[in-house]
Amino acid sequence: MKKLVPAVLLAAAAAPAFAHPGHDTTTLTAGLVHPLGLDHLLAMVAVGLWSAAAFSGVRRLAGPALFMTALLAGAVAGAAGWGHALVEPAIAASVVVLGVMLAFARRLPAAAGLVLVAVAGSLHGLAHGAELPAAGGFAAYAAGFLAATALLHGAGLAAAPRLLALPAVVWRALSGGVALAGLMLLARA
What pLDDT, in 10s, does the model give residues 88-118? Answer: 899 999 999 999 999 998 889 999 999 999 9
CA 108/CA 119 separation, integer angstroms: 16
What single-letter amino acid sits at 183? L
111-149 pLDDT, tens per residue? 999 999 999 999 999 988 887 765 567 888 899 999 999
- Measured CA to CA, the distance from residue 37 to residue 109 in angstroms comes to 29
Under 8 Å CB-to-CB from 76, ≥6 apart: which residues? Answer: 125, 129
Q: Write out the H or E segment, with its range, that includes residue 73.
A: helix 62-77
What is the per-residue pLDDT for 138? 84
- Of 37-51, 92-106, 133-147, 173-187, the poorest mean pLDDT is in 133-147
Determine the pLDDT at residue 182. Answer: 96
Q: Is the pLDDT of residue 3 over 90?
A: no
What pLDDT score was predicted for residue 24? 56
Q: Look at residue 2 and tell me whether its pLDDT is greater than 90.
A: no
- Give the span between the Cα atoms of 175 and 102, in whole angstroms: 5
% the chain with pLDDT above 70 = 84
* pTM for this model (two decimals): 0.85
Has residue 85 got a pLDDT over 90? no
Give the confidence band of 49 by pLDDT, cuts at 50, 70, 90. Answer: very high
